[in-house]
Structure 1
Amino acid sequence: MLFVEDTIRALFRKYETSAKSVIRRNIQIVHNSNQINPSIQEHFKRKYELIIARIEDNQRFLNWLLSEPGSDVVEKHNVDSHNSTPALSSTTTTTSMLETELTQDEEEMFPSEFDDVLMKENNTSSDSSNDESYQSGSSYHDGSSFSYQSSTSSSSPSPKKSKSSSKRGVRWGPNTIIDKVLNLFLLVVRDWSSEGLDERVQSYNPFYASLERYYPSVEQRRDIKVICPGAGMGRLPYDISMLGFHTTLNENSLFLIVALKRIFSGGVNDLNSQTLYPFIHQTKNITDEHTQTRRILIPDIAIGRKDEPGANMSFAYGDFFDIYSPQVSPALTSLSTTTITSNNTNINANINANPNTSNKFDCICSSFFIDTVENIFTLIERFHLILNVGGLWMNNGPLHYHHDALTSFHLNSTELLDIVRSYNFEILEYKLIDCQYTKNKDSLFQAIFNCVWFIARKIK
C-alpha cells in the first residue's frame, strides 16, 4: 500500500509539467496566427501568464495535500499568491520557457506492479465521458478533463499499456494526469469549501435531518453504526460523525485515499488556509478569465479541532464488495480499516487501531453511489447483508449509470424501489431532489440531477 501511495504522489507531482505542456500548445497556436491583431495577442499572452501562475499555485496545493500526514516539509501555501503573476517578456520567451516540459505525445512510465491499480481506477469510467453534466470524469470520484465530474470515456486518453507493458508498466500522458487532478480538486471543493455549500445542502442535508429524526437521542447515537460507501472526500461521513454517530467512511479510489489521509491527519485546523484554482482547465462555457481563474479556499471548517466534542470515525479503504464480502471475516476486515477521533492530531497515531470490526451496521447512507456499480442487484443484496434487522438505508443520488448498458443492468426509479422491496426492505420515504455535482457556479453550463431519495428499513 505504501508503494502505491508513493507512486500516486509521484504521479500528481507531474501535474505542473503536464498542465504547462497543454498550455504550451495553445501559446504556439496564437504565436503562429500572424493575422491576429497585436492587442488580441497581448490579451492571450496575459491570459496564459495568469494560467501558468495558477498552475504553479495548484502544484503547491497538491504538494501539501499529498504530503505525508504530519509532514511539515511542504511549503505553506500563501493565500495571497493570487496577486502575483510571473512576467513573460514575449510569446517566444514563453515557448522557450516551456520547451523542456512534456509534449502532448510524451507519457509518464510507472512500474508494472502499479498496472492493476491504475487500470482498475479507469475501468470504473462511465459511458458518458464527455457529459458535462458531471463536470468531471469517469465515475463520481474519478473524473476527466472537463467535462465531469462525471466520468466515462473521457476525451482525454485512458492509461494504456505499451507493447512491452508487462515489463514496463502503464503509460500516463499529460491529459490523464490533469484529469485525475481536476477530479480531486472538484471533490475537495465540493466537500471542504464554502463554494460547495449549496451542493452539500442539496445532497447531504437530507441525511442529517433524517438521522436526527430517526435517532433523536444524542446519547444513544454513539452506539449507532453508520457506513457511507463511496464517500469521496469524506464530508458526509465526517458531518454524520459530528452528530454523534459511529461512522465508517468507505472509499475505493486510491487517488482520493491519499488525499483523505492528509485531510483527516489533523493538519487542516486553520480556516481557509489553503488555496486552489480548480477551474483553470475548464475551457467550455466560460464567460471571462475570472470565471476560469478564480480561487477557492479550503477548509471552510477546522477539521478535527481539539475543542470539538469528539467525532467517532472509522476508515474502510478499498472496494466495498471486497471489504464487506460474505467470505471476509471480521479479523480480515479490521486490516482494511483505521480509526480517528477529532481529538487526534495525526491519523498515523491510530493507523493500527482496531475499530469495531463487526460487518453489521444500523444505517447505510449512500450518496451518488448506487449508479456507479456494475451490478445493482449485488449491491442491494450486499446492503441487506451488512444491515441489521430494523436498520435503515438512506439513499440520495441520480440513476446516471456509469457503466454501459451492455455490461451492467440499468433500473428506472420505479423498478429500483420494487427491487429494494423484494430484498425485504420496507420503503419509508421516497421523493426526487434536485442536486448539482461539482459545478462551477459561474459557468454558462449548469446541470441538475433529479436525484432519487428514499429511506428503506430492513424488515427481515
Structure 2
Amino acid sequence: MSGHGPSAEDVAEEQAHFRQVVTTFRQYRQYSLSANTRRRKDFYSLPIPHQKLLKEIGWYQKLGDVDDAILSNADFLEEIVDNTEIFSGSVDEPVGGDADMAGEHGDEHAGPADAHFHDAHTHEHGSHAHSHGPHSHGHPHAHERVVGSSSVPAHEHRQKVSEPDMDKLRSTLKQFVRDWSAEGQKERDETYGPILDALEEQFKDLPEERRADVQVLVPGAGLGRLTWEVINRGFSCQGNEFSYFMLLSSFFILNRTTATNQWSIYPHIHSFSNLQNSASLLQPVMIPDVIPGNRKPGPDFSQVAGDFEEVYGLRQEDQAQAWDAVLTCFFIDTAKNIVSYLEILHHLLAPGGVWINFGPLLWHFENNHTKDISIELNLDEIKVLAEKIGFKIEKEKLVRTTYVGHPDSMLHHVYDCAFWTATKI
C-alpha cells in the first residue's frame, strides 16, 4: 500500500484511543451497576406506601434480576478484551512509546475461523462512530492480557468512561443480536438477503468451483456476519471496519467461539422505557447461532482495520480495479463527502464490477459539533451522482426494515432502505 506511515503523534493518539475503548469494555460492570443503583436510590426516596406498592408488583425485586444480567454481560464483554493480540503495541505502554502499526503487513492467521486481520491506521475518536439504532448510529489497537474476568487495571480505574462510549458498547451488544443470534434472523433476511441474492445473481454463470476467484469487499463490516455469509457462498471476501468496538468484538466472535449458543447476553436491560413486560427487559439472547469457524474452505477471508477512505482511497494504486464486487450495507451515509465515497467505489471495482447497496440516508455528520464537513444528498441526487461518476444503476427498490430493533418494544424505528445494484461502466 502506498502512502506515508502514521506519525508518532498519530500513533500516540491511536494508543490512547484504544486504551479508552478497552477501558469502556472493562468498566461496563461498574458503570451499569451504578445506573441500577440510581433506581434503588429513587425507590427509597419515595413514600413508604409507594415503596410497598412497587414491591407488591415486583418492580423492586426486578432490579436484582437486572444486576444479575449486568454481571453476565460484563463477563462476556471482559472476555472480549481479555486477549487483544491482533493489535500491535500494549495498552500498558506509555503513550508515545513505540508501536508497530502493521498496515497491510499485519495479517496473521487468527484462530479457528482462519480470518486474517490486517491493521491499518484508524481514527475513530468519537465522531465517526456509527449506530443506526434508536438514539444514534451503532456503526473500533494494542495488547494486554488481564487475568480474571473482573480484573480492571489500576490505571483504568482512573480513566473516565464517557456516556457516548458506553452507549457504543451497549449498541455493540445489540449488534451481536442482529448479526449472530437466531433472534436477528429476520433483520438479516431483510437486509443481507437482497444483497446476497444480488451477488449470486451477478455471478450465476460462473461455475461454483470458481467463485473463490471473485473478490468481494464489504466496507463497514461491523461484526462480520455479512462477510461470513459471502464466504459461505463460495466468494472470497474482505471486510473493512473502522470502529474498535466492532473490531474487537468481531475478532472475538469469529475466532474465539467454538460452539453455537456459547454465550448468553442481555441486550435490552439498559432502558426500562417502552417495554410491555419484565420478560421483554430480561430476555436472554444466545450467541452465536452458527459456529463462525465452520465456513466454506477455499475462499480467502480477511478483515482490514482502518478508515475506508485512507485504506482504499484513490491514492492506493494497489486497490485500483482490485475488486469484482463491493457490498455497502448501512454504510454510505457514514460519509462526510459522499462524492469521495462514490469515486472510491468506482476506483475499486474492475470494469463491469458490481456495487450492491442497501441502507438508509441518515447522514452521520449532519449538524455535528466536531466541525467536520457534511454533504447530505437525497436519494435521487445520489443516483444521478452515481451515474455521472460512471455507474449504471440496474435494479433498485425500497425495502422496509428495522435496525437492532427489539421486537417486543412499544417503539419501533423503521427504515425504507434503498437497495440497488450498479455496474461500473
TM-score, normalization by structure 1:
0.72
The letter of the residue matching 1:440 is H
Cα pair 1:225 1:246 within 8 Å, conserved: yes
Aligned partner of 1:210 in structure 2 is 198
- 2:326 and 2:274 map into 1 onto residues whose CA distance is 37
Distance change (3 Å), C-alpha of 1:197 and 1:293: same
The letter of the residue matching 2:197 is A
Between 1:48-57 and 1:319-328, the stretch displaced more is: 319-328
Distance change (3 Å), C-alpha of 1:39 and 1:310: farther
- 2:71 and 2:159 map into 1 onto residues whose CA distance is 26
Distance change (3 Å), C-alpha of 1:398 and 1:370: same
Distance change (3 Å), C-alpha of 1:221 and 1:442: same
**2:125 is equivalent to residue 121 of structure 1:** yes
**2:406 is equivalent to residue 408 of structure 1:** no
Aligned partner of 1:184 in structure 2 is 172
Aligned partner of 2:181 in structure 1 is 193
Aligned partner of 2:145 in structure 1 is none
- 1:118 and 1:365 map into 2 onto residues whose CA distance is 21
**2:44 is equivalent to residue 31 of structure 1:** yes
Secondary structure at the counterpart of residue 228 of structure 1: strand
Distance change (3 Å), C-alpha of 1:181 and 1:319: same
Aligned partner of 1:366 in structure 2 is 328
- 1:193 and 1:125 map into 2 onto residues whose CA distance is 23
Distance change (3 Å), C-alpha of 1:329 and 1:171: farther
Matches within 5 A, 1:313-332: 313-328=301-316, 330=318
The letter of the residue matching 2:237 is T
1:31 is displaced (CA, Å) by 0.5
Cα pair 1:360 1:386 within 8 Å, conserved: yes
Distance change (3 Å), C-alpha of 1:119 and 1:417: closer
**2:236 is equivalent to residue 237 of structure 1:** no
Matches within 5 A, 1:240-319: 240-265=230-255, 267-305=256-294, 308-319=296-307
Cα pair 1:5 1:258 within 8 Å, conserved: no
Distance change (3 Å), C-alpha of 1:55 and 1:111: farther
1:414 is displaced (CA, Å) by 1.2
Cα pair 2:269 2:282 within 8 Å, conserved: yes
Secondary structure at the counterpart of residue 327 of structure 2: strand
1:315 is displaced (CA, Å) by 1.0
Cα pair 1:136 1:182 within 8 Å, conserved: no
Secondary structure at the counterpart of residue 272 of structure 1: coil
- 1:188 and 1:51 map into 2 onto residues whose CA distance is 19
Distance change (3 Å), C-alpha of 1:111 and 1:60: same
- 2:133 and 2:17 map into 1 onto residues whose CA distance is 28
Q: What do you get for the CA RMSD once the two structures are aligned? A: 2.8
The letter of the residue matching 1:437 is Y
Aligned partner of 2:389 in structure 1 is 423
- 2:159 and 2:85 map into 1 onto residues whose CA distance is 31
Secondary structure at the counterpart of residue 270 of structure 1: coil
CA deviations over 1:420-453 (Å, ceiling 9, x no partner): 0001111111111111100011001112100011
1:125 is displaced (CA, Å) by 5.6
- 2:218 and 2:123 map into 1 onto residues whose CA distance is 24
Unmatched segments (≥5 aa) in structure 1: 72-109, 143-168, 331-356
The letter of the residue matching 2:161 is W
Q: Taking CA–CA contacts closer than 8 Å with sequence separation of 6 or more, which of the two structures ends up with the larger relative contact order? A: 2
Aligned partner of 1:55 in structure 2 is 70
1:358 is displaced (CA, Å) by 7.1
1:177 is displaced (CA, Å) by 4.6
Secondary structure at the counterpart of residue 82 of structure 2: coil
Aligned partner of 1:134 in structure 2 is 133
1:122 is displaced (CA, Å) by 1.5
Aligned partner of 2:8 in structure 1 is none
1:64 is displaced (CA, Å) by 2.2
Cα pair 1:279 1:293 within 8 Å, conserved: yes
The alignment-based identity, stated in percent, is 27
- 2:84 and 2:243 map into 1 onto residues whose CA distance is 18
The letter of the residue matching 1:436 is T
1:236 is displaced (CA, Å) by 0.6
- 1:259 and 1:28 map into 2 onto residues whose CA distance is 34
Q: Where does structure 1 differ by over 6 angstroms across 4 or more consecutive aligned residues?
A: 110-114
Distance change (3 Å), C-alpha of 1:303 and 1:201: same
Aligned partner of 2:90 in structure 1 is none
Secondary structure at the counterpart of residue 281 of structure 2: helix
- 2:195 and 2:232 map into 1 onto residues whose CA distance is 13
Distance change (3 Å), C-alpha of 1:405 and 1:246: same
Unmatched segments (≥5 aa) in structure 2: 1-13, 87-92, 98-120, 141-157
- 2:95 and 2:26 map into 1 onto residues whose CA distance is 19
Aligned partner of 2:350 in structure 1 is 388
Distance change (3 Å), C-alpha of 1:371 and 1:111: farther
The letter of the residue matching 1:40 is L
The letter of the residue matching 1:400 is L
Aligned partner of 1:152 in structure 2 is none
Cα pair 1:436 1:448 within 8 Å, conserved: yes
Cα pair 1:118 1:170 within 8 Å, conserved: no
1:199 is displaced (CA, Å) by 0.3
Distance change (3 Å), C-alpha of 1:269 and 1:188: same
CA deviations over 1:183-218 (Å, ceiling 9, x no partner): 110111100000100000010011111111111221
CA deviations over 1:163-195 (Å, ceiling 9, x no partner): xxxxxx98424x345312211101111000001
Secondary structure at the counterpart of residue 336 of structure 2: coil
The letter of the residue matching 2:347 is L
Secondary structure at the counterpart of residue 377 of structure 2: coil
Secondary structure at the counterpart of residue 189 of structure 1: helix
- 1:288 and 1:398 map into 2 onto residues whose CA distance is 31
Secondary structure at the counterpart of residue 276 of structure 2: coil
Cα pair 1:14 1:177 within 8 Å, conserved: no
Aligned partner of 2:116 in structure 1 is none
The letter of the residue matching 2:389 is Y
Cα pair 1:112 1:170 within 8 Å, conserved: no
Distance change (3 Å), C-alpha of 1:436 and 1:208: same
- 2:321 and 2:18 map into 1 onto residues whose CA distance is 26
- 2:171 and 2:180 map into 1 onto residues whose CA distance is 14
Aligned partner of 2:155 in structure 1 is none
1:220 is displaced (CA, Å) by 2.2
